[in-house]
Amino acid sequence: MKRSFAIVCTVLVGATLFGTLVYTVLVVAHLSEPAGTTIQGLTPRRLWATTSVLLTLAGVVIGVLAMVRPANRFGTASGRLGAIVALVAGAIGTINGALNLAIANGGPGTGNGVVGAAAAFVLGLIAIALSALAFSRYRHKQLPTERTT
């Protein structure tokens, strides 16, 4: 019971922190004001932002798996290869999110995909941080086994 409560509290705090970070990115980019008229449906920029979010979300998942799984398992989400994949996915998502925010000319509801772009930017930074942690963990495990003769 205590473990389940701790997991639920952690998820809620993480979701709140993520939402706060996305809103902060929108405020910093001066795109936090909602649109006067809302555009419905999928626009090319919303598709671009959604694709960036999915890519960075995959980078976050692979980064977490690279940290959790041992390095001797096969697969793209373990060890050094998982950290590299998370780093590349995070960098691509962060750059695409920043570009989408840079060319946007309105806030949420304008069809520019600014909320998705801000989420991609934040998730990309998280994926890069996770890959850095996975790299350091991988190097830390490898140092004692290397010989210097």
Q: What is the pLDDT of residue 93?
A: 93
Is 0.85 topped by the overall pTM? no
Q: What is the rounded CA–CA span in Å between residue 2 and residue 122? A: 30
Across the chain, mean pLDDT equals 81
Give 102-136 pLDDT, tens digit per residue: 888 877 878 788 889 999 999 999 999 989 888 88
Residue 137's domain spans which residues?
Answer: 2-145
Q: Does residue 33 surpass a pLDDT of 60?
A: yes
More confident residue, 87 or 134: 87
The residue among 35 and 88 whose pLDDT is bigger is 88
Mean pLDDT of 11-28: 82
Exposed e or buried b per residue across 66-89, where buried means at least 16 C-beta atoms within 10 angstroms of its C-beta: bbeeebeeeeebbbebbbbbbbbb
Nearest Cα residue to 39 out of 121, 118, 106, 119: 106
Is the model more confident about 141 or about 115?
Answer: 115
Do the beta carbons of residue 77 and residue 135 sit within 8 Å? no
Domain tally for the chain? 1
Per the model's pLDDT, the better-predicted residue between 34 and 148 turns out to be 34
